[in-house]
Amino acid sequence: MTLLDMIPSLQPAMLPRLSPAIWPRGTEYDGAGRITLGGVALTDIADRFGTPTYVLDEAEIRARCRAYRKTFPQARVYYAGKALMIRAVADWVIAEGLSIDVCSGGELEVALSAGVDPKRLIMHGAGRSCDELTAAVRAGAGRIVLDSLTDIALLAASPSRPQPVLLRLSPGIDVHGHPAVRTGVLDQKFGFPIGSETAAEAVRRVLARPDLELVGLHCHLGSQIHDPDHYGEAIRRLVGEMAWIRREHHHLLTELDLGGGHAVAYRPGDAELNLTELADIVEDALDAACARHRFPRPAIAMEPGRAVVARAGVTVYRVMSIKQIAGGTTYVTVDGGMNDNLRVALYGAQYEPVVANRRPHGPWMTATVAGRYCESGDVLARDVRLPADLHPGDVLAVPCTGAYHHSLSASYNCVGRPPVVAVRDGCARELVRRETTADLLARDIGR
């Protein structure tokens, strides 16, 4: 018998702390020691919808949208749909005053099917087809970001409605992140290097087309940026480029899109971007750059995605087996893995899973949470602290999984992708159903 069994009143105080840095603000333990999200026990979701399942706290997403609107009241804030593009999320962010950034024909169709006003859409991305660009123009997308000279040529084949466009520039700023997400350096696949002849040629070509209206510049520095000074430097460089375009072409650009990349914490202690500090840096940099170049202050836009939805998401799994390698690692295998969370294999991302179905007490162990798929790199979390009495059937919850999990999910080993379930005010509802074997076979028409 443990101390908690002898003195039940100590149980709430002895429960492991759920860090507010990585869990939705409405997360708590109920009287039975179960983790609840939006008033719903995660074990109830596991029982009802199966595992793995992505769980989204609607109130958390809405609150983060409101924080952006409050902190940047004069800016156009686009939710970056690539983080998680489903119709319910599109509904929520639009209702909270944000617009939406899409980067493919598919994301465009999801937004339109959710009833989003096309004027509140911006499309960017590399390698878009003529059909995708044409669809954006025909839909009436508010802005299209030009990423290459080919984009300009492809838009020439689109309907002749005048289309507002922005030119994406790489400002030459290295945020020192993972190589896969450093998009502000000069030598990478996105946009035009600032100050290059190719960028100058793009400006000339766009201004020569009566069906294209060049309204501003766009940049994206990378992902997981926690130092707001990088955005200040981007403003200084891009306003200088806007001033050059005015001098060279007598054309005034009025918009500056700073992209996204706002860092969030995946584990307690991780650095994240402070919105108030970012707002101060943006204001100071705009004042200084515009004064230096005697340039009218442009309207600012930004594109947070991860920062809106990441912390609102929790993924629930069931433990399938526990294997102790003599003299080595303890592996806890769950019923998901790289199919529903590719970020660990792709970027080396780190998470902090916890037991969700009971209060853990007693001794702990260090273990690696492994996925079920046939790859040695299929790992969800390495060397994490879990209860020593963990057993098959326990439910594990992994916080901060709202961004780039459903979006990057796959059906490797012919295992269907998980459902997405929303919670709010004690109710759970399915937003995206689980992909079944029948769904996979419906696409296989080779016989």
CATH label of the domain that carries residue 15: 2.40.37.10
How many distinct structural domains can be found in the chain? 2
Residues 229, 159 within the same domain: yes
Contact at 8 Å (CB) between 54 and 420? yes
Residue of 219, 290, 374, 400 with catalytic role:
374
Residues 97, 164 within the same domain: yes
Which residue(s) pair with 392 in the sheet?
none
Looking at residue 417, the DSSP 8-state letter turns out to be P
Report pLDDT digits (tens) over 183-197.
Answer: 444 455 678 999 999
Residues 118, 257 within the same domain: yes
Residues 326, 219 within the same domain: no
Residues 116, 104 within the same domain: yes
Strand ranges across the sheet with 28-29: 28-29, 35-37, 40-41
Residues whose CB is less than 8 angstroms from the CB of residue 445 and which lie 6 or more positions away in sequence, other chains included: none
Residues 22, 94 within the same domain: no
Residue 131: in which H helix or E strand, if any? helix 130-139
Residues whose CB is less than 8 angstroms from the CB of residue 328 and which lie 6 or more positions away in sequence, other chains included: none
Q: How many CA atoms lie within 13 A of 356 on its CB side?
A: 29
What is the distance between the alpha carbons of residues 91 and 217, in angstroms, rounded to a whole number? 28
Question: What are the 10-residue block averages of pLDDT along the chain, 447 residues in total?
Answer: 47 63 94 97 98 98 98 98 98 98 98 98 92 95 96 82 94 67 51 93 96 96 94 97 98 98 96 97 98 98 98 98 94 98 94 95 94 95 96 98 98 97 98 97 90
What is the distance between the alpha carbons of residues 125 and 3, in angstroms, rounded to a whole number? 57
Residue 383: in which H helix or E strand, if any? strand 379-387
Closest to 302 in 3D by CA, of 22, 87, 71: 71
* Residue numbers belonging to the annotated binding site for substrate: 306, 343, 347, 375, 404
374 is catalytic: yes
Which of 275, 308, 341 is at the close of a domain? 308
CATH for 263: 3.20.20.10
Residues 36, 105 within the same domain: no
Which of 308, 339, 369 is at the close of a domain? 308
Contact at 8 Å (CB) between 98 and 70? no
Question: What is the structure's pLDDT at 307?
Answer: 98
The residue range of the domain holding 273 is 59-308
Residues 36, 63 within the same domain: no
Residues 419, 298 within the same domain: no
Distances 217 to 201, 206, 295, 340, 420 between C-alpha atoms, Å: 15, 12, 14, 35, 35
Residues 10, 80 within the same domain: no
Residues 108, 30 within the same domain: no
Residues 358, 369 within the same domain: yes
* Residue numbers belonging to the annotated binding site for pyridoxal 5'-phosphate: 261, 303-306, 404
Which of 308, 323, 346 is at the close of a domain? 308
* Residue numbers belonging to the annotated binding site: 261, 303-306, 343, 347, 375, 404
What is the distance between the alpha carbons of residues 99 and 304, in angstroms, rounded to a whole number? 11
